[in-house]
Amino acid sequence: MRFIMMVMPKDYAQAAPDMMPPPELVEKMARYNESLRQAGVLLSLDGLAPPSAGARVVFGGGKPRVQDGPFTESKELVGGYWMIQVRSQAEAVEWAKRAPMLDGDTIEVRQIYEPGDYTPEVRKAAGWKE
C-alpha cells in the first residue's frame, strides 16, 4: 500500500518566499530520509516552496481564477511530503511519528488509491481495463 505523509509546518502560511529550514533540522531530516531508504519503504520525497511563492487556480462560475500566494485564509499548508510503500496505515503512522518535526508541526498520513480501490464504474469511466 502506498501512503503520502504530508508535512504541514506551523505558521507556514506566513513564511517568506525565500524561507529555508534551519540547517540542524535539515541534518536530522536527512538522517530520517536515509532510514526510510534503508528500510526500503521510500518511493519519493520533496520539500515545497512556501505558499507565498505559489499560486492557486480556483474554479467557479465557469471560469478559472488565479490567486497569488500567500493564502491568508488557509490554516494548514503542505510544506513537503514523503511517498512510502508499507503494509498498513498503522505502519505508515509509525514512520510519521519518527520524523524530526518542530513543535506545532503536523504530518497528515493518507493512503493513495490504487486502480483496484475504485468501483467498477469509476474504473470504466477512467478507461481502465478490468
Beta strand residue intervals within the chain, DSSP E: 2-8, 42-47, 55-60, 63-68, 80-85, 106-111
Average pLDDT over residues 28-52: 96
pTM over 0.85: yes
Contact 42, 84 (CB under 8 A): yes
Please give the CATH superfamily to which domain 2-126 belongs.
Dimeric alpha+beta barrel (3.30.70.1060)
- Residue-wise pLDDT for 46-81, tens only, equals 999 999 999 989 999 999 999 988 877 777 889 999
pLDDT of residue 128: 86
The reported pLDDT for the residue numbered 28 is: 97
Question: Which string of b and e fits 84-104 if b means at least 16 CB within 10 Å?
Answer: bebeeeeebeebbeebebeee
The HSE-up count of residue 113 (CA atoms within 13 Å, CB side) is 7
Average pLDDT value for the chain = 93
pLDDT for 14 equals: 83
What ranges do the domains of the chain cover? 2-126
